[in-house]
Structure 1
Amino acid sequence: MFTSEAIIDAVQNGKKTFVNTFVTNEAVKEAMVNFVDTQAEYTKKAVKVGQDTAAVLTSEMVKSMQQATKFDYSKFGEGIMKAYQTTQKPAKGA
Structure 2
Amino acid sequence: MSDVITAAVAALSEKMSGADFDGSAKFVIEGEGSVVVDASGARASDEEADVTLTADADTFQDMMAGNLNPTSAFMSGKLSVDGDMSKAMALGSVLG
Fold shared per TM-score above 0.5: no
- Structure showing greater radius of gyration is 1
* TM-score (norm. length: structure 1): 0.26
As a proportion of its length, which structure holds more strand?
2
* TM-score (norm. length: structure 2): 0.26
As a proportion of its length, which structure holds more helix?
1
